[in-house]
Amino acid sequence: MSSEIENRLQERGATIDGVIAAMQQFSVETPSWGYGNSGTRFKVFQWPGAGSNLREKLADAAQVHKVTGICPGVAIHIPWDRENDWPAVKEYAGQLGLHIGAVNPNLFQDDAYRFGSLCHFDKQVRKQAIEHVIECIQIAQAVDSNVVSLWLADGTNYPGQDDLRRRRRRLLDSLQAIYAAMPAGMRLLIEYKFFEPAFYSTDLPDWGTSLLIAQKLGPQAEVLVDTGHHPQGTNIAQIVAQLLDEGRLGGFHFNDRRYADDDLIAGSQNPFELFCIFNEIAGAGAEGNTNAGRIAYMIDQSHNIEPKIEAMIQSVINIQTAYAKALLVDRAALLAAQEAGDVLGAYRALQAAYETDVRPLLSEVRARQGRDPDPIASFRASGYAGRVAGERTAVAESSGYPGA
Ligand code: RM4
Ligand code: MN
Ligand code: MN
């Protein structure tokens, strides 16, 4: 264990066990689609042994959980992961030490959705989209998941193409029908994205729109922040702070980016931003904010050139690292500096935590669970990647996501 960390904590009367306990509560859900082949619109490179059906993807996810110890949940995407027997899927996941997490409807790959899904001007198309989401609610119930996570590709490409206020009312109507079909205890997470695939207007472009709609729907609707879905320069940590204060931060889709929705390994491009996000959560949690304790942490990534399972493990490590650093912030010192107008002092309180080497702390958390301190090395040593590359048959995808 790092004496640097212990000393720093001791100085303010905190113990390492408190931090470790918080870290043991922390889990991150991985996405089934992150284990399959995917690519850019230019080319999909086949990865030897990449999972091509839900069972294979769950087996891969089990490897990530095995070495990290914090990834028992797996998000699914319908119809990419469609199965006939959901109780059997639930049982298979259970045998692997996993459970099915968020169920993601797909409202962007049916020919009917050219002009949108829940916002479409044609009532029949809206009905089809609503029924699909309701089917996902039923799947969630069958696998004992309490999260349905909604992302819309709806939008317009040209000014005047459709009436923006009418689209908004259609969206609300459709979501109200969906909300009414949710059982108690289930949460509807409403994801936003400022562009793509539509370019003039997107029906859920930003957190404010998602929040307004969630507030109109009711307490079971919350906002999902995908870290790749903002314009350049957006302060995501501030969005997180506002949602926490409103009690509507439903969850995250972690991934990193430089330009657009790049879906790169979380924390690989801007680890400080990830730290600032977790700093808001840890700060709110320390003050007893109840929302901070029920956030669905999920990864939403597509790995195009890198080994998929290792990329997922690395993402989990980077997320865990950011969270651990946020837990080390000296909140009393931070507050004192803030209220004294000590700009540098406050910044340095964050910097001190950010610059702490938390690798020994993460190793200790893993060691206490009987796991190898180095998840990537442990996965490599298992020989799993070579084994599945030899056993599994490749399924060629032409471009991007399945069905694209
Ligand atoms: C979108 C969005 C959704 C994800 C799809 C595949 O950009 O991030 O969450 O399900 O991609
Ligand atoms: Mn997403
Ligand atoms: Mn995305």
State pLDDT tens for residues 207-220. Answer: 999 999 999 999 99
Identify the residue whose C-alpha is closest to ligand 1 atom 1: 151
Supply the pTM of this predicted model: 0.97
> Atom of ligand 1 at shortest distance to CA of 104?
10
The residue type found at 118 is L
Task: Please give the distance, rounded to the nearest whole angstrom, from the Cα atom of residue 324 to the centre of ligand 2.
Answer: 24
Query: Measured between alpha carbons, how far apart are the two ends of the chain, in Å?
Result: 48
Residue among 199, 58, 84, 193 nearest 142 (CA): 84
The pLDDT score that the predictor gives to residue 5 is 86
Ligand 1: which residues within 6 Å by Cβ?
104, 151, 191, 193, 226, 253, 261, 300, 401
The pLDDT score that the predictor gives to residue 6 is 87
The pLDDT score that the predictor gives to residue 9 is 86
Integer Cα distance of 29 and 101 in angstroms: 7
271 burial type by CB count under 10 A (0-12 exposed, 13-18 middle, 19+ buried): middle
> Atom of ligand 1 at shortest distance to CA of 149?
9
Integer Cα distance of 244 and 222 in angstroms: 11
Task: Please give the distance, rounded to the nearest whole angstrom, from the Cα atom of residue 293 to the centre of ligand 3.
Answer: 24
Structure tokens at 170: 């259609």
Task: Please give the distance, rounded to the nearest whole angstrom, from the Cα atom of residue 195 to the centre of ligand 3.
Answer: 10
Which ligand approaches the C-alpha of residue 204 most closely?
1
Integer Cα distance of 263 and 138 in angstroms: 29
Which ligand approaches the C-alpha of residue 109 most closely?
1
Give the model confidence (pLDDT) of 208-254 as tens digits: 999 999 999 999 999 999 999 999 999 999 999 999 999 999 999 99
The pLDDT score that the predictor gives to residue 2 is 64
- Residue whose CB lies within 8 A of the most ligand 1 atoms, among 32, 107, 190, 191, for a mutation test: 191
The pLDDT score that the predictor gives to residue 11 is 82
> Atom of ligand 1 at shortest distance to CA of 302?
6
φ, ψ for residue 265, nearest 5 deg: -50, 125
Which ligand approaches the C-alpha of residue 152 most closely?
1
Task: Please give the distance, rounded to the nearest whole angstrom, from the Cα atom of residue 399 to the centre of ligand 3.
Answer: 16
On whether the CB atoms of residues 249 and 240 are closer than 8 A, the answer is yes
The pLDDT score that the predictor gives to residue 395 is 74
Structure tokens at 28: 């991150």
φ, ψ for residue 169, nearest 5 deg: -65, -35
Within 10 Å of residue 38's Cβ, how many Cβ atoms?
23
Positive or negative torsion for Cα 51, 53, 59, 63: positive
Integer Cα distance of 300 and 349 in angstroms: 31
> Atom of ligand 1 at shortest distance to CA of 401?
6
Identify the residue whose C-alpha is closest to ligand 1 atom 5: 151
Stretches where the chain sits below pLDDT 70 are 1-2, 396-399
Identify the residue whose C-alpha is closest to ligand 1 atom 9: 151
The residue type found at 399 is S
Q: Which residue bears the tokens 């079909």?
A: 181
> Atom of ligand 1 at shortest distance to CA of 224?
9
Integer Cα distance of 288 and 39 in angstroms: 42
Helix (H), strand (E), coil (C) string for the chain: CCHHHHHHHHHCCCCHHHHHHHHHHCCCEEEHHHCCCCCCCCCCCCCCCCCCCHHHHHHHHHHHHHHHCCCCEEEEEECCCCCCCHHHHHHHHHHCCCEEEEEEECCCCCHHHHHCCCCCCCHHHHHHHHHHHHHHHHHHHHCCCCEEEECCCCEECCCCCCCHHHHHHHHHHHHHHHHHCCCCCCEEEEECCCCCCCCCEECCCCHHHHHHHHHHHCCCEEEEEECCCCCCCCCHHHHHHHHHHHCCEEEEEECECCCCCCCECCCCCCHHHHHHHHHHHHHHHHCCCHHHHCCEEEECCCCCCCCHHHHHHHHHHHHHHHHHHHHCCCHHHHHHHHHCCCHHHHHHHHHHHHCCCCHHHHHHHHHHCCCCCCHHHHHHHHCHHHHHHHHCCCCCCCCCCCCC
